[in-house]
Amino acid sequence: MVYAVLMMAGLRERKKEQTRRRISEVALRLFDERGYDAVTVNEIAEAAGVAKVTLFNYFPTKECLVTDGVEEDMAAVVVAGRAEGRAPIEALREHYLATAGQGAGEVDVEALLVRIRVIGSSPSLLGAVYGAHMGQRYQLAAALADGREGDLTAHLMAAQITAAVTTLQESFFHRLSAGESLEEAGRRLAADVELAFDLLENGFKSIKGEKS
């Protein structure tokens, strides 16, 4: 009996995930074909074969159809995901190196490029992504401050880390857009992560040729 209940629960979750994925894929295809502003939520729901209320159960706003998952919880890496005795910057380096080392099966490159195109062509979506990144930055600053209100050092660190990570992502997306394979782009991303976090840890004077 317990096994049957668990199996049914698992089937429901898989069905929900399939529905969510279908809605997202349909929305991105329509946005890419016609432009974000030209497509209505009603059209997306109809094309995905779901009711409008069902769509909003999965994606509370039209923007969420594109930006869902864009924001990364770096604060959680620093707080919950960090081993005892490990510095926050080391935990973040390890996290992004692990991300760079993910296999090709972990990323749908075509879907990722479509999402990037859609976001890049819409000022409102660019604004939403910027807002998400700002929220991520303040959450990271709070995690680094560890309860110390108005900690400028934490805010400066968070600003530098989020800027570095955003730049890494942009470089990675550019390589994929230029036709580079996921494996090669991931390999180069790993080297870029090491460079970025070396700079964050040691400063710009760590670059060879920089005068002391």
pLDDT (tens, 9 = 90+) of the chain, 212 residues, equals: 544 544 555 677 888 899 999 999 999 999 999 999 999 999 999 999 999 999 999 999 999 999 887 777 888 888 776 777 788 899 999 989 988 887 555 678 888 899 999 999 999 999 988 888 899 999 999 999 987 888 999 999 999 999 999 999 999 999 999 999 888 998 999 999 999 999 998 887 656 555 44
Q: What are phi and psi of 209, to 5 degrees?
A: 90, -10
The verdict on domain 2-66 having CATH code 3.40.50.2020 is no
Q: What are phi and psi of 51, to 5 degrees?
A: -75, 155
Residue 23 and residue 25: Cα distance in Å, rounded? 6
Length of the chain: 212
**DSSP label at residue 39:** -
Residue 65 and residue 67: Cα distance in Å, rounded? 6
Do residues 196 and 84 touch, judged by C-beta distance below 8 A?
A: no
